[in-house]
Amino acid sequence: MKEILEEMNNIAVYGMSTNIAKAAHTVPGYMLKRGYNIIPINPSAETIMKQKVYSNLMDIPDEIDILNIFRPEEEALSIVQEAVERKKAKGDIKLIWLQLGLRNAEAKQLAAENGIDYIEDKCMYIEHKKVVDN
């Protein structure tokens, strides 16, 4: 975990929220304040935290190290399918991370079949506090 959080800096956040009360806003905000490049994905916003927002993965020009997913777990498979298409087209997305409380066995299997590391049911904020801030 420490290696992931120290070496992977470009984090695309699928479902990043404009609502400051939601974890889908506060967790990426925490990571942004710690020097990570946060790339919001949200079809109903133009900017979040002064970051340009994209409506889908393929529109992002930057390289993506981690795809952090803040969407209901039943949407995880279709998001991972989109990530696989992007990896085939652009060669990035090293890791897919489903936030705390989210699991999807089919999405996990699809990621593994396409050489993408996968973490589920873990909060990036909590993991960062454990391994980097200590």
Question: Which tens digit of pLDDT belongs to each residue from 25-42?
Answer: 999 999 999 999 999 999
Return the H-helix or E-strand segment holding 40: strand 37-41
Output the domain CATH number for residue 83. 3.40.50.720
Full residue range of the structural domain in which residue 23 is found: 2-131
Number of domains in the chain: 1
Token pair of 78 as six digits: 């279709």
Return the H-helix or E-strand segment holding 61: none
Give the Cα separation of 74 and 110 in Å (integer).
14
Give the Cα separation of 84 and 42 in Å (integer).
19
pLDDT of res. 81: 98
Confidence of residue 122 (pLDDT cuts 50, 70, 90): very high
Alpha carbon 134 to chain centroid, angstroms: 23
> Does position 134 have pLDDT exceeding 70, yes or no?
no
**Residue 134 burial (CB count, 10 A):** 6
pLDDT of res. 108: 97
pLDDT of res. 132: 76
Mean pLDDT, residues 17-29: 97
